[in-house]
Structure 1
Amino acid sequence: MKPTTQKILLLLFTGVALSLSYTPRQYWRTLKSASKEWKIINKKDLRYGINKLYESKCVRKSKNKDGTVTIIITDKGKLKALTYHFERMAIEKKNWDGKWRIIGFDVPEKVRWGRDALRDKIKKLGFYELQKSVFIFPYNCKNEIDFIIEFFEIRKYVRFGILETIDNERHLKEIFKLT
């Protein structure tokens, strides 16, 4: 799928993201960034991208009584958009609030692929491995972790917590360059 077509799919998926926004601030930030991105795509590429999405059954068209057409993202399109969003995911590293985010998991062998994918993704995001299935990170990442564990359908096997202190804090501060 071409980058423009991927962008169109992600922008259509923004409507889903808006409905999942927890705060008005998140809602407006998502909406503002989406409107900027729509303006960047030229009309020819937009038409081509939507047609490609339609052919691949990622969107469907619905004709309205007034003659306009509404583009609706399908379940297949939502899944594809989640995949693209997942690949581009990053955690914003704002000022450290002095708290540690810890993730522990005990995923059974029958869903090993989910465990391995979770471990791989959180390592790529910059988490530090304390033990084989316990990772730590200094920045707020609750939404991203929720997204990842929902994406892999392993919520019941994963625990997330926030620590005020940890005995090897000085070592962790060095690892995350917080000193």
Structure 2
Amino acid sequence: MDTMESTSKKRMRRGQIERAILSTLAVAGVGLVAMAAPNALQLLKYADPDWMIKRDPKQRIREAANRLKKKGLVEFVREHGRVHLRITEKGRRRFGTLVSFGPLPRPKRWDGKWRLVIFDIPEKRHGLRARARGIVAGFGFVRLQDSVWAYPYDCEEAVALLKAELHIRKDLLYIIADAIEYDVPLRKEFGLPLE
């Protein structure tokens, strides 16, 4: 069980670094960031609070950039003797989809897992809670209970961007579940096999 947890955490950290890089490139206007820039290391602070005690942060950024390149979301460009990252059109589309807070794209096949979003935003922040509820519903989640929402497809990137946009971390949690008791209504709602 410990290896599953550590693998899951590693995958999550990788995704956070990739999203931070992609977001920085998309917001940078020109969409070009030097890989050796000192500020590039600042990305890791937002992706992983314990980044300074982990292995070489520059190496982690390079690995994340290579993963984004393999996905076709960024490209490496050599200018003035330095290597830069540039966001591709595919990367811009991916970033635009994630920040628009509209319905999420649905893959053709379901992996059999449920994605749950639960939040516990205090009453004094009821405006924020209502906004989070509206965005989650806009993504296509179905409400299970007041602050528990379900979705059948991978949406970790969208939820991470939602948390960043609303500046909420621990108040909103993303859970991947193998099963939900009595999920027939959910399966019908999403057009999934009833098994």
Note whether the superposition's TM-score is higher than 0.5: yes
TM-score for both structures, normalised by structure 2: 0.53
Percent of aligned positions that are identical: 26
Q: Does 1:153 align with 2:195?
A: no
Q: Does 1:26 align with 2:68?
A: yes
Is the radius of gyration larger for structure 1 or structure 2?
1
In 2, Cα distance between the equivalents of 1:168 and 1:13? 49
**Between Structure 1 and Structure 2, how many residues are aligned?**
126
In 1, Cα distance between the equivalents of 2:181 and 2:170? 28
The answer for the alignment partner of 1:49 in structure 2 is: none
Q: Does 1:87 align with 2:100?
A: yes
Q: Does 1:12 align with 2:26?
A: no
In 2, Cα distance between the equivalents of 1:13 and 1:170? 48
CA-CA distance at 1:153 after TM superposition: 0.8
In 2, Cα distance between the equivalents of 1:148 and 1:115? 12
Structure 1 gap segments, 5+ residues each: 1-8, 38-81
The superposition leaves residues 53-110 of structure 1 with CA deviations (integer Å, 9 ceiling, x where unpaired) of: xxxxxxxxxxxxxxxxxxxxxxxxxxxxx99962265533112100000111110123
Give the letter aligned to residue 100 of structure 2.
E
CA shift in 2, pair 1:110/1:13, >3 Å:
farther
CA-CA distance at 1:128 after TM superposition: 0.2
Give the letter aligned to residue 168 of structure 1.
Y
The answer for the alignment partner of 2:158 in structure 1 is: 144
Classify the secondary structure of the residue corresponding to 2:104: coil
The answer for the alignment partner of 2:134 in structure 1 is: 120
Structure 2 gap segments, 5+ residues each: 1-25, 44-60, 76-85
Give the letter aligned to residue 144 of structure 2.
L
In 1, Cα distance between the equivalents of 2:127 and 2:96? 16
